[in-house]
Amino acid sequence: MTAPLNIAIVGSGIAGLAATWLLGRSHKVTLFERHARPGMGAFNVALDAGGKAMRIDVPLRVFKSGYYDNLMALYRAAGVQMQPTDHAASFSTPAGDTYFRYRNLVLAGRSIPLVTDWRRHARTITREVLRFLRQAPRDRAAGRTQGLSLGDYLQRHRYDAAFVDGMLLPSLAAVCTCSYEGVRRYPADTLIDFFTSGSLTQCTWRARHGSEDAIARLLAPCDELVCEAHIKTVLVDGDGVHLTNEHGPSRRFDHVVIAAQANQAAALVESPDAEAADWLRQVPYEGSEVVVHRDARLVPTSARTSPVHFSVDPAAAAPMANIRLNHIVPELADEAALYQTWNPLTEPAADQVLGRARFERPLVTLGSQSAMAALVARQTASPTRLWFCGSYLMPGIPLLESAAQSALHVAKQLGVPAPWAAA
């Protein structure tokens, strides 16, 4: 047995936390976070629910069986309880006309969407969803989608605008937290894999006790958590890797895992690793806002029974997505209506707002995909003491699963295999 390494991890989003849990069982891990709380829960909102204090996840993060195998295995191994949740959706125009709506029938771990209103748009959307689910995986398997963006693919096959603009792009914009244009630029393969991996038929899950509980469990093997520590410089020499933040003297580690976003990581490693910084800068980002509020006016009356509601304005850059938290979080079931709205196209009344946060989300393009593949290949073939880890790095949409996969990759390279058969 080799002596434990002294490892620093910069960033405590899910990637840094997953790396902490994996590496911390064999090595000494120090985790740095620039926020006052672990990054995965840094924007959570405190709330009184029926006299009980709780913190609501901002953003609410859910996952699907079929696409999130490593995240779910990690949660099981770390003791994070999970529960199925209903993410059935409805779609309305800005004037409040609900043109497509489905509810979910949950049977034996499967979730079967049932369209509940068969007006003209709903028939077209359903027909085109079925065509996409049939055609896209076939084209993908035959290599006919390679090198195409989703926008190119949809245009090539002339999918109906009712499906593309009315349902597919709004749904994917919410999943990818980006504009319609951002979704169109995604590699077709990446979004076909997501959409056809059971995104419509597998159960949606959440961490039963929210992200605060998941964070505590993933931190269990962490030797030292240092919050309000904004790492400013990374220096690599023959002796190890030296980190400094604005508060103290530099600290030396055997290895450093940079689990910050690609744009933040690029700024940090410019001097010790210009090649990696060049690749990292090829990941584009889009910013947007999430608001937690009680203003029911943002959802038309006809859609208020849906757990998730999309307001789709063709003139806007992205849809507004409202999640009715009372449907999702059991502790809120009997409480006053509480919403989490991504991209508020209509402002909730100021006295109804409980919290708001701005996020930046990486996009995937054909160019960023090649750059990240090059970085991962170099990290595998010619490892150094400096490691990169994050949802943006692995193939697929940057989600909790790709962050878990990225942490697994780094841990394996540092001699710590996953305690499960990694997918």
Ligand X SMILES: Cc1cc2nc3c(=O)[nH]c(=O)nc-3n(C[C@H](O)[C@H](O)[C@H](O)COP(=O)(O)OP(=O)(O)OC[C@H]3O[C@@H](n4cnc5c(N)ncnc54)[C@H](O)[C@@H]3O)c2cc1C
* DSSP secondary structure letter of residue 219: T
Point out which residues pair with 322 in neighbouring strands.
Answer: 309, 341
Residue nearest to ligand X (CB): 39
Minimum CB distance to ligand X smaller for 66 or for 152: 66
Separation between Cα atoms, residue 127 and residue 361, nearest integer Å: 32
Q: Which of 5, 11, 27, 28 binds ligand X (CB under 6 A)?
A: 11
Minimum CB distance to ligand X smaller for 122 or for 222: 222
Sign of the Cα torsion 154, 159, 160, 166 reads negative
Q: Which of 290, 325, 329, 408 binds ligand X (CB under 6 A)?
A: 290
Residue 14 as a binder of ligand X (CB under 6 A): the answer is yes
Task: Judge whether 132 and 159 are in contact, CB under 8 Å.
Answer: yes
Minimum CB distance to ligand X smaller for 124 or for 343: 343
* Contacts (CB under 6 A) with ligand X, residues 250-279: 259-261, 264, 268
Residue 359 as a binder of ligand X (CB under 6 A): the answer is yes
| C-alpha of 185 from chain center | 18
Q: Give, for 340, the enclosing helix (H) or strand (E).
A: strand 339-342
Residues in binding contact with ligand X, number by CB under 6 A: 36
Residue 15 as a binder of ligand X (CB under 6 A): the answer is yes
CA distances from 53 to 49, 50, 227, 293, 326 (A): 6, 8, 23, 17, 16
Residue 43 as a binder of ligand X (CB under 6 A): the answer is no
CB of 225 to ligand X, least distance (A): 11
- Cα–Cα nearest to 63, from 45, 82, 76: 82
Separation between Cα atoms, residue 154 and residue 164, nearest integer Å: 8
Task: Judge whether 23 and 32 are in contact, CB under 8 Å.
Answer: no
Separation between Cα atoms, residue 187 and residue 401, nearest integer Å: 18
Residue 84 as a binder of ligand X (CB under 6 A): the answer is no
* Contacts (CB under 6 A) with ligand X, residues 101-140: none
Residue 204 as a binder of ligand X (CB under 6 A): the answer is no
* Contacts (CB under 6 A) with ligand X, residues 363-402: 390-391, 398-400
Residue ranges binding ligand X (CB under 6 A):
10-16, 32-35, 39, 42, 59, 61-63, 177, 229-231, 259-261, 264, 268, 290, 342, 359, 361, 390-391, 398-400, 403
